[in-house]
Structure 1
Amino acid sequence: MQQVRTPHVVVVMGVAGTGKTTIGPLLAARLGVPYAEGDDFHPQANIDKMTAGHPLTDEDRWPWLDAIGSWAHDRAGLGGVVSSSALKRGYRDRLRAAAPGVVFVHLTGDRKLIEDRMSHRQGHFMPTALLDSQFATLQPLEADEAGVAVDVSGDPGEITERAVAALRALAQPTQ
């Protein structure tokens, strides 16, 4: 399988259960760049709060987003893939402020499919009960944001290939 090299940092975003942690490393391998798991940037207080079934506030998220932004900034020109829910435009703006060249891959899909996937995963701190708050918070990518939406139906390989194709199309100059 051919690698598709990119100097960009790609942020794999979406609500919980869309497959960021599965697709992120697969996409990084296809792009030939390192992967960073966004959940690893959370302070323990955030993990404890989500584990208890409480959604994070913006104030909870700022240090987390700043840590991801710092990683993305350090990878500028080298490329990388990092996962982050990046649900609000303001969160993505904060990531872009730290690393202006970031490109977003928004994993999106049917709520029932996402809930089903969440209910079958093991060892993750995010309970299915918080899915509604994730969808309520979600602000999809806007036309002026560098990024693509990728449907999460199918197996991880299919989703990854759709993401690679969408990123390639995004990189093509428009006439």
Structure 2
Amino acid sequence: MSADYTTTITVAATPQQAYDAISDVSGWWGRITGRTTAVGDEFVYVVPGLHYSGFRVTELEPGRRIAWLVTGSHVDFVDDKQEWNGTTVRFGIEPTDAGTAVTFTHEGLTPEGECYGACSNAWSMFVNGSLKTFIETGQGTPYLFAGDEALTGDDHEELHRQVRESIAAR
């Protein structure tokens, strides 16, 4: 079996600044519903008509690491719509001479999975581009929605409810 998708960025920031920026998911990835500030918190990320996933925060060590378990997902463009279920997204944060290294790993996202090509490309865009810029400048390029694909708070709450129900049904 191949390795999980991993990428590392080096940022001109302290480990705590990197940690704080990663925790502000809406600032670099896109609109979420829920919370990301304590172990056990849950949140939902949505790309209308393409992908949604629910996460539970499983590790938080300020300035050092963050981990989120994918508790439920629907990836519309692959046969196994729940391919992300049970995978874990991790951020390792280490000080370096050049600033801070952030190692992103999506455990369970491997080349054998149907989503690997598109999903690893998307993660590369968000982590290597948006997150890096967000950490260094406070201005990321998260996925934003407008017009017909814009979601209301009620839309997000409904998707969050669906993820919780799919977990409970297991």
The TM-score by the shorter chain falls in which range?
A: 0.3 to 0.5
Query: Would you tell me which structure has more helix in proportion to its own residues?
Result: 1
**TM-score normalized with structure 2 length:** 0.32
Query: Would you tell me which structure has more strand in proportion to its own residues?
Result: 2
**TM-score normalized with structure 1 length:** 0.31
